[in-house]
Amino acid sequence: MECTEGPSPAVPVDKAAVALKGFRHIMVQWGCTEAEQKQLLGLSQTEFDELTADKSAGMSGQVLQRISYLMGIARALDALYPSDDRAAERICKPTTDEPFCGLSPLAFMLADPQEGPRLTRRYFDWKAMT
């Protein structure tokens, strides 16, 4: 049996629209630049422009997964901190906690957009449960 990896299938437009709306809210809350947003989603400028102009038409499963990690991080931060300002401050504050090694969680995710969001979500999920 042959296994080939192609592009992930497009996400239904209704789900993609909800995800994009949540993503935009989080990015404003965290004060992320457009360049940081593209990097977190793993998109080129053209792909990012198409995604945002079409209001989520053609969103890949990989982009949806990345947004899901960011939404989970935001949810955990909401549980940990009483205000949006404190949550945004925490995501930008350098820490020696594992796995960040002196970086802020946001800088850590930007340094490794593939694994960074997954590891950051796992960390904040753990913190929210303890």
**What residue ranges do the domains of the chain occupy?**
13-129
Please tell me the distance from the alpha carbon of residue 29 to that of residue 74, in angstroms, as a whole number: 9
Average pLDDT for the chain? 90
The answer to whether the CB of 70 falls within 8 A of the CB of 26 is yes
pLDDT mean over 58-63: 89
Please tell me the distance from the alpha carbon of residue 18 to that of residue 23, in angstroms, as a whole number: 9
Q: In terms of pTM, does the model score above 0.85?
A: yes
pLDDT mean over 13-23: 91
